């Protein structure tokens, strides 16, 4: 994958040497964080696209996704608390959606905690819409997941043929 620069930040492939910084962000962002082993496995999987955002060589955000046949799935996204609100997450999502379009994905799925209204609004900005709710999907604390979908062209619900930004 190509390194991309965006207003002082660089988007690059996640590498094992990035994981200590990724894990700091992960633990600061989630109550049930992914482990080193989980991130390491994602880096190695042929269906994974794992990217980091860096500023001055420091990891300030990351996005993990899978592409299986004609479907994309955003698995994990977080930005360091000191760098939130600067458009980093949006830029990573934009780039991932471009990658998924280029990979001929027809749909992109994700799950988000019901209480994470800020994330849900951000995804809606990109055209994601509610598909379903998964009862008690999350633990620590137990909470429902909102399943969201973005469809590239053709479908009324979550149709991203005309991006909303």
Q: Which residues are catalytic?
A: 111, 123
Pairwise CA distance, residues 3 & 130, whole Å: 32
What's the full length of the chain, in residues? 165
Count how many Cα atoms sit within 13 Å of the Cα of residue 128 in the half-sphere of its side chain.
26
In the 8-state DSSP scheme, what is residue 82? Answer: G
80 φ, ψ (degrees, to nearest 5): -55, 135
């Amino acid at each position: 994958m190509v390194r991309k620069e965006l207003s002082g930040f660089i988007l690059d492939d996640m590498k094992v040497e990035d994981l200590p910084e990724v894990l700091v962000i992960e633990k600061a962002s989630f109550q049930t964080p992914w482990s080193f082993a989980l991130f390491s496995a994602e880096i190695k999987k042929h269906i994974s696209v794992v990217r980091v955002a860096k500023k001055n060589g420091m990891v300030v955000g990351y996005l993990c996704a899978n592409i299986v046949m004609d479907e994309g799935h955003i698995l994990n996204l977080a930005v360091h608390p000191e760098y939130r609100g600067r458009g980093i997450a949006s830029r990573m999502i934009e780039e991932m959606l471009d990658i998924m379009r280029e990979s001929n994905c027809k749909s992109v799925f994700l799950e988000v905690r019901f209480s994470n209204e800020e994330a849900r609004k951000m995804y809606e900005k990109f055209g994601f819409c509610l598909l379903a709710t998964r009862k008690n999907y999350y633990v620590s604390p137990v909470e429902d997941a909102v399943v969201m979908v973005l469809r590239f062209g053709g479908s009324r619900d979550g149709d991203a043929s005309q991006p909303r930004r």
